[in-house]
Each structure stands twice: as structure tokens, then as C-alpha cells.
Chain A
Amino acid sequence: GENVEQHPSTLSVQEGDSAVIKCTYSDSASNYFPWYKQELGKRPQLIIDIRSNVGEKKDQRIAVTLNKTAKHFSLHITETQPEDSAVYFCAASILDTGNQFYFGTGTSLTVIP
């Protein structure tokens, strides 16, 4: 099955700086890659996603890039704010696996004011 690795496990940045979280996947058939933000005690919330037919997607301060050849994708957050502090999970999904999503191990992001 698919294996998703995520790095780093923890990340601290100063407010206003950028943060980058990277994930790699093992199955070249994976074609959909969502990113979730989970604040303490709350549900995971989809913040951005990318499909394998595009290389980059941006939504205001958040962007995701995908390199299919290298089988990795990254989350980029610019101009970080304290409210960006949360645990971020990447995931990969293959159409023909019964709608199964494979999650990375998570990155705990702290934005220092």
C-alpha cells in the first residue's frame, strides 16, 4: 500500500516568516493530495489540495507544489501568523483503493509572535 512520510515533525518560525512542510509518497498511482490543519481539540480542516494533473496551486498565503517524478509535495505558508499554529497533515489518495486516504505523521507548527 501507499506510504506517506512527512517532515519536519515540529517547526517553529517567527511571525511573518515562511514555513515549508514536505511530504513524500511511495505509490506513483496516487493522484490526489490534500493538506489538513488541525488546531488543538478540533477537527482536521482541509486547507488546500492538489491533483496530479497540476504542479502548483495557491490560495492567498498558502501554496502547494507537486513533483510527480520525485513523488513529493510540499505546503508553503507565507507571512505566517500566530493563528497558523496547529498540526498539519498531508495525505495521498489513489482513486481505485476504495476512497482510502493515507496520512503523513503530522507537523506541529508554532508561529512565535
Chain B
Amino acid sequence: DTEVTQTPKHLVMGMTNKKSLKCEQHMGHRAMYWYKQKAKKPPELMFVYSYEKLSINESVPSRFSPECPNSSLLNLHLHALQPEDSALYLCASSQVYRDSFNQPQHFGDGTRLSIL
């Protein structure tokens, strides 16, 4: 019963391909995140969108391009990736209450990406 849905679950692509990862949530959360995770390592923040605006870009290479078409959807466009980009890509969302504590993140199941 995952509340954050990511597609596809698995993706194999060559270094010259262009593909997109998709993330969707219907919990009314106004913050959405992309993380990259290698095996047995913590999630590594890539991007944060808050109220559909990019609020954090953690110096991610330009071959990763995020997009937030609306408050429920988050995409990650991939182009000319390198073998070291092979990882689990996690999407997360959280509610945003200004003047309050941050709210817990809810993660999707991730897309396992392999670059040939």
C-alpha cells in the first residue's frame, strides 16, 4: 500500500539513451524529493521541490533534469548517464507546514536504474 508511486520499477539504459522516471502522490503533500541510493548507503539528496518550485539542487550533474508539472507529479529526466549513475532512485514526499516542525517523508519503492 505504497502512497508514493514510482515508475518504472526497473530501468536498463545505454549511455546515449534518454529516459524519464516518474513519481506520483495523492496525499496533498507540497514537498517532493529525488534521492539516489547506493547499496547499504543512506539516501543521497538530489533535488527538493516545495510548492512546485525547485528549492534545493544538490550540485547534481546536468544529465539529471527534474520537473514538477503539478503538486502531485515529479519527473526525473535522464540523458547521457554514466555507469556510476547506476543506483536506486527514490522519490519521497512530505507535507509542508510553515512555522512548524518539518513533517515525515514518505518514500516510494524506487526505480532501480542500470546503465550499460
Contact = CB atoms under 8 A, between A and B. Distances in A.
Interface residues of B, dominant DSSP: loop
A61 interface: no
Interface stretch (B12-20, B37-45, B66-74, B77-85): B37-45
A98 B48 contact: yes
A86 B40 CA distance: 10
Interface residues of B, number: 26
A95 B101 contact: yes
Given A43-B2, A99-B50, A99-B94, A34 B41 contact: no
B59 to A, nearest CB: 13
B115 to A, nearest CB: 19
Interface residues of A, number: 26
B98 to A, nearest CB: 8
Nearest to A102: B45
Contacts of A32: 101-103
Interface of B: 2, 31, 33, 40-43, 45, 48, 50, 55-56, 90, 94, 96, 100-110
Interface of A: 31-32, 34, 36, 42-46, 49, 51-52, 87, 89, 93-95, 98-101, 103-106, 108
Closest 10 interchain pairs by CB?
A103-B42, A98-B55, A93-B102, A43-B107, A99-B31, A32-B102, A32-B101, A46-B104, A98-B56, A43-B109
